[in-house]
Amino acid sequence: MSTNATDAAAVHANEEHAKRNLASIRPSFIVKDLQTSITYYRERLGFQLDFEGPDDGPFWAGVSRDGIGIMLKAVAPDVLPIPNHTRHAWAPPDAHIYSADPDALFDEFNRRGASFVKRLSFIEQGLWGFSIADADGYVLVFYQLRHE
C-alpha cells in the first residue's frame, strides 16, 4: 500500500471513530423550580436523577432515562423558562427524542399522568408518536419514523 493510500485509510478510520464517539445529547432547560422539575421527570416520565448540585444550595441537576438526558437549571427568580412555543407558535418542540416503541411509552406516560400536548398519532408526516409538556412548559416529542 502506498503512503497516500495508508494516510487515506488512517483518515477514514479516524473519521469513523469520530462518528461513533458521539453517544447522546443533553439539552439544557432553564426551570422555575428545580425540585418541581426533578419530581415531574422522575414521577411522570420515569427518569432517574443523575446528579444535583451544589450541595450547599442546589440549582442544577441532570435527569436521564434509556440513554438520553436533560439538564435542569434554576438560574434566578427573575430568569424564567422560555419554551419554544412561547416564542414561535409554529415550532413548539424543545426536544425531539427518538423512541423504539412510542406506543408503549405513550401508555406508560399516560398511566403516570404526563401532560400531553399531542396524543399518540402521526404528529408530523412520517413521525409516529406524541408530545408532552413538562412542569415548565417545555415540549418534548417522542417519535418513531413510520410510513402512514
Task: Please say whether the beta carbons of 82 and 30 come within 8 A.
Answer: yes
CA 144 to chain centre: 14
Longest dimension (CA), the chain: 64
pLDDT digits (tens, 9 = 90+) for 11-69: 655 666 666 677 788 999 999 999 999 999 999 999 999 999 999 999 999 999 999 99
Nearest to 94 by CA among 134, 143, 36, 47: 134
Read off the pLDDT of residues 74-122 as tens digits, 9 standing for 90 and up. 999 999 999 999 998 888 899 999 999 999 999 999 999 999 999 999 9
Domains in the chain, ordered, with CATH? 24-145 (3.10.180.10)
Q: Which residues lie across from 130 on neighbouring strands?
A: 142
Residue tagged 440549582 (cell numbers): 59
Using the structure block, give the residue that is written with the C-alpha cell 424543545.
94
- pTM flag (> 0.85): no
